[in-house]
Structure 1
Amino acid sequence: MSTAETVDPYDITTRSNGLKRRRVTEKLVSVVALLSALFAVFILALVLGTVLARGINALDLDFFTKSAALFGEKGGIADALVGSAIIVFMAMLMAVPIAILVAIYIAEYAGPKAAAFFRVTLDVLNGVPAILVGIFIYGLLVVGHGQSAIYGAMALAILMIPMVARATQEVLELVPRHLREASLALGVPRWRTVYSIVLPTAIGGILTGVVIAVARVAGETAPLIFTSSIVTSHGVAFDVHEALPTLPVRIFTLSESASPDDQAAAWAAALVLIAFVLVMNVLAKTIAGRKRRSLEGN
C-alpha cells in the first residue's frame, strides 16, 4: 500500500464510516428516552388532574371534621383519617425495629452466603401481593377472633419490613469501611461501632426508607379489607382491639356507591391520600438531601 493510501490512525480529522451512524443512533436513543420520560410525566399529570377535577369540589372543612354519613347526611373522613393514622403508626412501630435489625445483620454480621440468602428472601417478600398478606393474617388471626386495628397493623407491618430492611441495608453498605475499621482499631466492640458510628452516619437514608414505606402502605386497601373493615362504631374511635375505619377502605366503599355524592367524596378522599403520599415523598427527599449535604460538609 502506498503512503498516500495509508490512513493515519492519529489524525483527528479522519472520520470513520460508522461515526455518523453512531451519532444518529445516540440522538435517536436520547429522543426515545426523553419521550418516555415525558410520557411518564403525562400519565402522572393525567391521574392528578382527573382526581383533582373530580374531587376538589367536595373538599371543605366538614369533609375533614365529620365522620361517615348516617341517614343521608353529608359525611366526612375524620374517622378514617384517625383510624389510618393509628394503624399506620402501629405498623411502623412493629416493622421499623425488626427491619433495621435485619438490615444490620445482613450488612454487618452475615457472611456472603447468608447475606445473599436474606437479600433474596427480602426481595421475594417485597414482591408478595398485598392481598395475600391480608388473606394470611385473616386466616391466621382474624378467623375466630374478629377484625381489629391490631391485625390490620400487622398486615401493613409485613409489607413494610422488606421495604425498610432493603433500603436500610443498602444505606449501611454505603457507609465508608474505614469508619468501622478506625472504631474497631480503638478496641470499640462491633455492636458499639454499629450503634455509635454506622447508624448515625446512615440515619438520613434510613429515615428516607421509612418515610417511603409509610407512604406506600398508607394506601393499601386489600389487607385492611380482610383485617379492619367491618366497623361497628360511628364516629372517631381509638379502640385498637376493634376494627377502625381507614381511608383506603373508605375510598373503596364510597366508590362502589351509586350515589353521585358518595362518588365525589371518594374522589376527594383519593385526592387527600395522593396529597399525603406526595408530602411524604417530598419529606423523604428533603431528609436525604440534608443528610447528603451534611456528609459533604456543605
Structure 2
Amino acid sequence: MTTALDRPVKPPQVFPSLSTRRKTVNNLATVLVFGSFIVAMVPLIWVLYTVFSRGLTALTSDDWFTRSMRGVLPFFEGGGAYHAMVGTLMQGAVAALFAIPIGLMVSIYLVEYADGSRLGRVTTFMVDILSGVPSIVAALFIYALWITTFGFSKSGFAVALALLLLMLPIVVRSGEEMLRIVPMDLREAAYALGVPKWKTIVRIVIPTALPGIITGLMLAVARVIGEAAPLLILVGYATYINYNMLEGEMGSLPGMMIAELNNPSGPGRDRLWGAALTLVLIIALLNIVANLISRYTGAKKK
C-alpha cells in the first residue's frame, strides 16, 4: 500500500510554457536581429574587399614601403608611400604625445576630484562640445590661432594641433568610462589602509582600468590619422620625406590619396588605392597592438 509520502513529487514549474504568440514574436525578433547584423556587415565587407583588391597591386611592388614619390612623374609607374607613412605616423605621434596626458588628467579629475562641482560640469560640457566639432572647423581654428595670430608657417605640427583637438574628447571620454568601472571597494580598501588618494589612483585605479584606457587611446589615434581636412588647410603635400615638423610641406597617406585622385591614369589609380589600403592596415595594426598591450598590462588576477 503506497502512501502520499511514497509518491514522486513533481518539481514546481518555475517558468510556464510559452504561448505560440510569444514563440512567434521571439523567433521574429531573432530573425530581425540577425538580419540587421548581416545588412550592417555587407557594406563593411564590400568596402574592405574593394580596398584590398584594388590596393594590393601597389603594396606588392618592390618600392612601396622603401621609396617616396620624389622624382616620379604623376603619369609614370614607380614610387612608393614611404614618405606618406612617415608623415602620417609623425603627425599622429605628436598629437598623441599631447592628447594622452592631458586627456587622462582630465578624466582623473572628472572621476576622482570633480564630485559634481561647477568646474567639473563646465569641463564635461566643453568635452561634449569638442567631441562634436568637425575636423575642418578644428583645422580652421588652428589656422586662425597658430598661423594667422601667432605667425607660424604651415607645417606638420599645425596638423598635429588640429588632430589634438579631435583626439582629446575621445581620450577623455574613454578614460572617464574606464575609471568609473573600477569598483569603489578597491578605493575604500586602500583608504582604510591609510594609502593617500593620489597613490590609490596611481597604484590601484589606473592599473585596474589600464586595458580599457589603452584600447581607447589606440582608437583615438586610429580615428584622427585618417583625417584629410587639416592636411588641406594646414600643410601642403610633399612627395619627399620631411622630418621637420615645424616647417615645410609634409607627405601623408590622406594627402597622397588626394594628390593621386587628380591623376586618372593607371599608375595613379593604383597608388591611390594602395595608400588607402596602407592606411587601413596601419589602423588594424594599431588595434592589434592595443589588444596585446591591454592583455599584458592589466591588473594581475591571483
> TM-score scaled to structure 2, two decimals?
0.86
- Paired positions, count: 283
Aligned AA (1:119) = T
**Alpha carbon RMSD of aligned pairs, Å?**
2.3
**Which position in structure 1 is the counterpart of 2:274?**
268
Mapped to 2, the partners of 1:230 and 1:63 lie a distance apart of 18
Work out whether 1:226 is the aligned partner of 2:233.
Answer: yes
* Runs of 4+ with deviation above 6 angstroms: 10-16
1:1-298 aligned at under 5 Å gives the runs 19-59=19-59, 60-70=61-71, 72=73, 73=76, 74-112=78-116, 114=118, 115-143=120-148, 144-231=151-238, 235-242=240-247, 243-289=249-295, 295-297=300-302
TM-superposition CA deviations, 1:94-150 (whole Å, max 9, x none): 100000000000000002254454334323311211111111111221234321111
Q: What CA distance in whole angstroms lies between the structure 1 residues aligned with 2:243 and 2:175?
A: 32
C-alpha distance in 2 between matches for 1:11 and 1:57? 64
2:63 partner SS: helix
Point out the more displaced range, 62-71 or 36-45: 62-71
Distance 1:163 1:196 in 2: 24
Shift of 1:296: 4.8
Change (3 A) 1:36 1:146: same
Is this contact kept in 1: 2:70–2:240, CA < 8 A?
A: no
Cα 1:247/1:188, change in 2 over 3 Å: same
Aligned partner of 2:9 in structure 1 is: none
Aligned counterparts of 1:235 and 1:185: Cα–Cα separation in 2: 59
CA–CA distance in structure 1, aligned partners of residues 34 and 296 of structure 2: 29
Superimposed CA distance per residue, residues 244-263 of structure 1 (whole angstroms, 9 cap, x where no aligned partner): 21111111211232222112
CA displacement 1:185-232 (0-9 Å, x = unmatched): 23322122211221122211111111111111111111122112254x
Distance 2:45 2:95 in 1: 31
Distance in 1 (alpha carbons) for counterparts of 2:262 and 2:30 = 44
Describe the SS at the equivalent of 1:135.
Answer: helix
Deviations 1:50-78, CA, capped at 9 Å, x for gaps: 11111111222301111125352522111
Indicate conservation of the 8 Å contact 1:96/1:210, yes or no.
yes
Pick closer, same or farther for the CA change 1:25–1:278 going to 2, 3 Å. Answer: same
SS at match of 1:63: coil
* Contact residue 228 and residue 245 of structure 1 kept, 8 A: no
From the superposition, tell whether residues 200 and 22 of structure 1 become closer, same or farther in structure 2 (CA, over 3 Å): same
Are the counterparts in 2 of residues 77 and 247 from structure 1 also a CA contact under 8 Å? yes
Question: C-alpha distance in 2, partners of 1:295/1:285?
Answer: 16
What's 1:5 paired with? none
Distance in 2 of aligned mates of 1:186 and 1:53: 60
Q: Separation in 1 of the partners of 2:55 and 2:134?
A: 28
